[in-house]
Amino acid sequence: MHKATPILLLCIIIWQRTSLPSKLLLCGALILSATGDMLLALPIEKSFLLGLSAFAAAHILYALFLYRWLNWQQINVLSVVIFTAYLITMMFVLLPAVVELRVPVLAYFCVISVMFVTAFAANTQDYTLRIGALFFVASDSLLAINAFITPLPLQSVLVMGTYYAAQYFIALGCLQLTKEHHVS
């Protein structure tokens, strides 16, 4: 529960301090993320799969939140090439190690990719949202490497540090995006 607390506090702050009409999507993503944190920590069968599903649903809500502000011209070729290279590399490294979880892991990579692309395609000049998406991909990559490939030194600090930064910057970026477009 303690890992989910900062995310739930962020959700409460957003809920109480904004009048944003689509804050339900943003807070829903944060609540699903906190749920994913708790599920991953539980010593129950299928906890990884349940946590992965909660995070996938959170990414879908983030993408739905960002959908109305998409501007495909925001994405440049270099970003696409770098992200595609990252995805191919992660799949090459990770898929042999997740034998029976290949389908859920592939599905999750598709969903987080949609969130990542919508964050980069959001019609904003502010980089906060993009930084958050990068931190989320980094956090998930570190978590996967630690869980399935090799233990990482300071894995908890690395994974949770990038994860908390991701949630903060995505939430802040979403609020900044709505402010730029005068949505209250």
pLDDT score of 171 more than 70: yes
> What is the reported pLDDT for 17?
85
**Domain count across the chain:** 1
The region that residue 138 occupies, defined by phi over 0 for left and psi between -120 and 50 for alpha, beta otherwise, is alpha
Query: For the segment 58-83, what is each residue's pLDDT rounded down to a tens digit?
Result: 999 999 999 999 999 989 999 999 99
Which domain covers residue 134, as residue numbers? 5-180
pLDDT score for 184: 62
The average pLDDT across 42-55 equals 95
pLDDT the model gives residue 183: 77
Q: What pLDDT is stored for residue 1 in this prediction? A: 65
Q: Of residues 179 and 116, which shows the higher confidence score?
A: 116
Convert the pLDDT of each residue in 131-162 to its tens digit. 999 999 999 999 999 999 999 999 999 999 99
Q: Is residue 45 predicted with pLDDT exceeding 80?
A: yes
Query: pLDDT at residue 53 above 90?
Result: yes
Show the tokens assigned to 164: 């908390």
Residues in CB range of 72: below 8 A, 6 or more apart: 121
The DSSP secondary-structure symbol of 40 reads: H
- In the block, tokens 């869980």 appear at 147
Q: What is the pLDDT of residues 100-130, one digit of tens each?
A: 999 999 999 999 999 999 999 999 999 999 9
8-28 mean pLDDT:
92
Whole-angstrom Cα distance, residue 53 to residue 146? 19
Given a cut of 80, whether residue 21 has pLDDT beyond it is no
Q: Cα separation of 74 and 123, whole Å? A: 7
Identity of residue 146: N
